[in-house]
Amino acid sequence: MDEEKPIILTAQGSFSAGGKTLKAEGTYDPSHALDPAGQTKHVDHAYVFYQAPKDARPNALVFLHGAGQSGAAWETTPDGREGFQTIFLRKGYKVFLMDQPGRGRAASVLTSASVEPKPDEALWFDIFRFGHYPERFPGVQIPEGEEAADQLWRRVTPDTRTFDAELVSDTLSAAIDRAGPSVIVTHSQGAGAGWRAAMKNDNVRGIIALEPGVGFLFPDDDVPDPLISTSPFGALKAEGVDPRDFHKLTEIPILMIFGDNIPDDMTRWGGEDNWRVRRMEAENMAEEINRQGGDARVIRLPDVGIHGNTHFPFEDLNNREIADLMEDWMIEKELDR
Amino acid sequence: MDEEKPIILTAQGSFSAGGKTLKAEGTYDPSHALDPAGQTKHVDHAYVFYQAPKDARPNALVFLHGAGQSGAAWETTPDGREGFQTIFLRKGYKVFLMDQPGRGRAASVLTSASVEPKPDEALWFDIFRFGHYPERFPGVQIPEGEEAADQLWRRVTPDTRTFDAELVSDTLSAAIDRAGPSVIVTHSQGAGAGWRAAMKNDNVRGIIALEPGVGFLFPDDDVPDPLISTSPFGALKAEGVDPRDFHKLTEIPILMIFGDNIPDDMTRWGGEDNWRVRRMEAENMAEEINRQGGDARVIRLPDVGIHGNTHFPFEDLNNREIADLMEDWMIEKELDR
């Protein structure tokens, strides 16, 4: 088994990417050092941990988490198996894991925030398509049992600022300035920042969006109407961008992946219906990219014989199979060399 | 140079340690999924990233950051050199880096918090003994230049809960349950949680406290008076614990390390004076441990010919020299085998 072979790294470490600097008016007085006058504060950056394997491929993989998550999402599965961080290191890729501004180790931000411990895990159990809380779907791939659930829920970490895809994409682009030629891998909420980073940085060579959840983009003269859903979050609104920016998405290969238990027709189960409209919008967006000559593909995993996947394909029991599918696509698109 | 040799790992990953679970009264209704009724929330755990090198020594090193920091503190120096994470992996130790509850990737907590971007970096520049803001001390070891300063300040990340050494030590002890026999390495604020974890967990084989800053412990029938200081944080108060718990600190070797530019006599410069009283209290605490038959040592780095160190010896230009000194002590105390 791969997990028993050593992992050989040539480098690892972390850095901050992007950000702003606040400065308070006045002059610093060391005898009133608690007064902000004349003092600075560095905010709104991303935190990035990187590792380079021996004989690394030229393209790095830069991972951006989804809502409520941090870069830790990619490290280990809830039942303690290797996550995409280590799996893709073993496949020869340099791996960069980012915490976006206002999340995890990059929580120092320009704006004030209040953090409240709101019990909401049943909501997310349903949204993540583990089942209908507390019942799991038959054959669902998320690891089972109390210990795995404990690990899974404790990985959730709150926001210290409102999500801003434009800001996150600035820091993602700054991370890619350090990473060099890269394939971006986003999860869920991260998708919007992934597309926007590709519009800003020529070092983005491809994008894999795992279950993109918000930030679906269209040329701003052609934004589709909101998609009505029974999702607890209501209708899904697409976003418009300058058509010249949108066109940049036609210049790189794009893969979007959706898991199982997503209905074709509207259902009263908001958790699943949430993904019905998101998958639909992803397919609309891919169609628009391809209509303009691009190369975007949406894979519905059950259509390729892979069943039971949740909103966390990188945590699921078959996460290696998902990684292999991503790798096959990168090989096909010559992103592995 | 070591940095050019590959790093060979047999395992890496992350987990959550300790924590509580909130549950809201009532019954979950999926058609009102935003209502917390009947839902849970996992809070007050630590986040831990671990790596095991090939042919690892039996004792792990478990690192706990100081105030305003996360586990990232140990990863890379502000000027991009290897941090203690990688340096000690190369020395053959399993390395565990923790984010305490309410910090970094473990920000999900039981209590509410507000996070404010208060400019305070001149205060910390002085407290960290980089110099008298904005002038650096001559020969000070913290990396110089704008890029390094940018990286250093962006590593600061806010609290989402009040620091609670007892809670942090519970999660540190839970992390050590996973790590096995361990030497705890604390920085600054982390010290108090380190001592307390050693009182709770027989797998703690030694402690290295880098510039312990708060949480100095004494038997509760013998707590010294507060030490008066011009520090912006005022007088330093020691804490009392059950004498039987205190006695546990006599059963393991303990090393405390303080850097340069700490005065012997009270000064109007609060940043330095802050450390005058902390070093004094550390020496008092070591004396009490040794009086009871223990083995605690306080090293003043300039006394052993190592000059210019700041509050961040693991970030300083001579961080390898500090690591070697720690290693020599571990060898002397047979913690390396």
pLDDT tens sequence across B310-333: 999 999 999 999 999 999 999 999
> Per residue in A63-88, pLDDT tens?
999 999 999 999 999 999 999 999 99
Q: What confidence score (pLDDT) does residue B1 get?
A: 45
In angstroms, the CA B233 to CA B165 distance is 18
Instruction: Inspect the interface and report whether the beta carbons of B111 and A99 lie closer than 8 Å.
Output: no
Three state DSSP letters for B153-168: HHCCCCCCCCCCHHHH
Residues in chain B: 337
- DSSP classification of residue B77: -
Mean pLDDT value of segment B205-214: 98
Which chain A residue has its CA at the smallest distance from B68's CA? A108
Dihedral (C-alpha) B272, B277, B278, B280: value to the nearest 10 degrees?
120
In angstroms, the CA A247 to CA A292 distance is 7
Instruction: Name chain B contacts of A270, Cβ cutoff 8 Å.
Output: 30-31, 33
Interface test with A, best of B5, B8, B14, B63 (most A CBs within 10 A): B14
> Per residue in B68-82, pLDDT tens?
999 999 999 999 999
Considering only CB atoms, A41 lies closest to which of B75, B80, B118, namely B118
Query: ∠ CA(A212), CA(A49), CA(B90), 5° rounding?
Result: 145
Closest to A329 (Cα-Cα) out of A213, A211, A208, A212: A208
CATH number for region A2-332: 3.40.50.1820
Instruction: Name chain B contacts of A126, Cβ cutoff 8 Å.
Output: 30, 33
In angstroms, the CA B287 to CA B224 distance is 12
The structure tokens listed for A121 are: 């895990």
DSSP string, B202-217: TTEEEEEEES--S--E
Q: What confidence score (pLDDT) does residue B3 get?
A: 65
Contact by Cβ (8 Å): B208, B257: yes
In angstroms, the CA A138 to CA B188 distance is 50
Dihedral (C-alpha) B285, B287, B289, B292: value to the nearest 10 degrees?
-140
* Spans in chain A with pLDDT lower than 50: 1
Task: Find all residues with CB under 8 Å of A318, minimum gap 6, and list them.
Answer: A141, A306, A308, A309
Instruction: Name chain A contacts of B71, Cβ cutoff 8 Å.
Output: 105
Is any Cβ of chain A less than 8 angstroms from the Cβ of B237?
no
Instruction: Determine what percent of chain B is predicted with pLDDT higher than 70.
Output: 99
**Which residue bears the tokens 């070797």?**
B253
**What is the β-pairing status of strands B253-258 and B295-300?**
parallel
Mean pLDDT value of segment B99-119: 95
Q: Is the ipTM of this complex over 0.90?
A: yes
Burial classification of residue B116, based on how many CB atoms lie within 10 Å of its CB (0-12 exposed, 13-18 middle, 19 or more buried) = exposed
Q: What confidence score (pLDDT) does residue B164 get?
A: 97
Is any Cβ of chain B less than 8 angstroms from the Cβ of A138?
no
> Per residue in B124-146, pLDDT tens?
999 999 999 999 999 999 999 99
Q: What confidence score (pLDDT) does residue B2 get?
A: 57
DSSP string, B39-75: -EEEES-EEEEEEEETT--SSEEEEE--TT--GGGGT
Q: What confidence score (pLDDT) does residue A1 get?
A: 45
The structure tokens listed for A199 are: 């519009």
Task: Find all residues with CB under 8 Å of A197, minimum gap 6, and list them.
Answer: A169, A172, A173, A176, A184, A204
Give whole-number Cα distances, B279 to B157, B259, B289, B324, in Å.
26, 10, 15, 22
Phi, psi dihedral angles at B219 (to 5 degrees): -55, 140
Please name the residues between 90 and 129 in chain B that touch chain A, using a CB distance below 8 Å. 99, 104-123, 126-127
In angstroms, the CA A309 to CA A301 distance is 8
Quote the minimal CA–CA distance from B310 to chain A in Å. Answer: 18
Contact by Cβ (8 Å): B279, B286: no
Which chain B residue has its CA at the smallest distance from A147's CA? B16
Which chain A residue has its CA at the smallest distance from B161's CA? A115
Burial classification of residue A320, based on how many CB atoms lie within 10 Å of its CB (0-12 exposed, 13-18 middle, 19 or more buried) = middle
Burial classification of residue B227, based on how many CB atoms lie within 10 Å of its CB (0-12 exposed, 13-18 middle, 19 or more buried) = middle
Which chain B residue has its CA at the smallest distance from A134's CA? B28
In angstroms, the CA B165 to CA B170 distance is 9
Is any Cβ of chain A less than 8 angstroms from the Cβ of B268?
yes
- DSSP classification of residue B18: S
Quote the minimal CA–CA distance from A75 to chain B in Å. Answer: 5
> Per residue in B246-291, pLDDT tens?
999 999 999 999 999 999 999 999 999 999 999 999 999 999 999 9
Quote the minimal CA–CA distance from A68 to chain B in Å. Answer: 10
> Per residue in B79-102, pLDDT tens?
999 999 999 999 999 999 999 999
Residue A18 CB neighbours (<10 A): 21
For chain B, the structural domain boundaries read 2-23+41-111+118-332
Is any Cβ of chain B less than 8 angstroms from the Cβ of A155?
yes
Considering only CB atoms, B133 lies closest to which of A30, A117, A160, namely A30
Amino acid at B101: P
In CATH terms, the superfamily for domain B2-23+41-111+118-332 is Alpha/Beta hydrolase fold, catalytic domain (3.40.50.1820)
Instruction: Inspect the interface and report whether the beta carbons of B113 and A115 lie closer than 8 Å.
Output: yes
Q: What confidence score (pLDDT) does residue A3 get?
A: 65
Residue B62: is its pLDDT beyond 90?
yes
Considering only CB atoms, A107 lies closest to which of B10, B36, B157, namely B157
Is any Cβ of chain B less than 8 angstroms from the Cβ of A10?
yes
Region of residue A295 (left: phi > 0; alpha: psi -120 to 50; beta: else) = beta
